Amino acid sequence: MPFLVPAHSAQPNGKPASRIRQKNEEAIIKAAEDEFARHGFKGTSMNTIAIKANLPKANLHYYFTNKLGLYIAVLSNIIELWDSTFNHLSSDDDPAEALTRYIRAKMEFSRRNPQASRIFAMEIISGGECLNDYFSQDYQLWFKGRAAVFEQWIAAGKMDPVDPVHLIFLLWSSTQHYADFASQICRVTGKSRLTRADFDQAADNLIRIILTGCGILPKVPAGSQA
């Protein structure tokens, strides 16, 4: 799954960034994820990120003015990936299909982007000051819009009357757990690493547990046993 192109990738004239620029930014974001996840914000330097990305340090500063800007870009990138799967949620959607699709997408993000998820978790645990601007009124309105869809489903009798806010928190935390606490899961289960099959099995169980808890009958894939 490719990285989401950051918002700053547009040219000053509004045109999409060139393929070379986009490729370099993706390489920088990936290298920054590796370094921030390993050493934290304070222990990471722009020089080590440049070496990891195989780019001159001057090129790094061309795309990202400073380390804080790059750090925020890494955080914003993973949030936008997560939220993109919920952007078009509608009261006309079937709750079973919409929630199943969302849980599977979030679990796939956890499998493919575990380091970015852990960086986000560490930032939030430390107070989330670098995300103050991101979690602005616009984001709060976006969140309320998602919760409103659940309220409409409840009013239409499509699901049980659960608190939409806490349901969204549950969806976030349960799916991100498999990235943030993978080492704990491996130690408890005796695995050396989590495989794609492990993530698929976890997604199946989360879908069954969460949908059943909301009074929604999970969709059984064709060829599967009920």
d(C-alpha 112, C-alpha 134), whole Å: 23
| Domain covering 85-213 in this structure, CATH number | 1.10.357.10
Q: What's domain 7-72's architecture? A: Orthogonal Bundle (1.10)
**Token match 């409103």: residue?**
148
Show me where the domains of the chain are located.
Answer: 7-72, 85-213
Q: From residue 24, how far is each of 4, 9, 53, 65, 205 by CA, in Å?
A: 13, 10, 8, 15, 38
| pTM score of the predicted model | 0.82
The pLDDT score that the predictor gives to residue 77 is 86
Residue 118 · residue 36 · CB < 8 Å? no
The alpha carbon dihedral of 190, 195, 196, 197 has a sign of: negative
d(C-alpha 151, C-alpha 145), whole Å: 10
**Helix locations, the chain, DSSP H:** 19-39, 46-53, 57-63, 67-84, 95-112, 114-125, 137-155, 164-180, 182-189, 196-213
Which residue stretches of the chain have pLDDT < 70? Answer: 1-17, 220-226
The pLDDT score that the predictor gives to residue 218 is 81
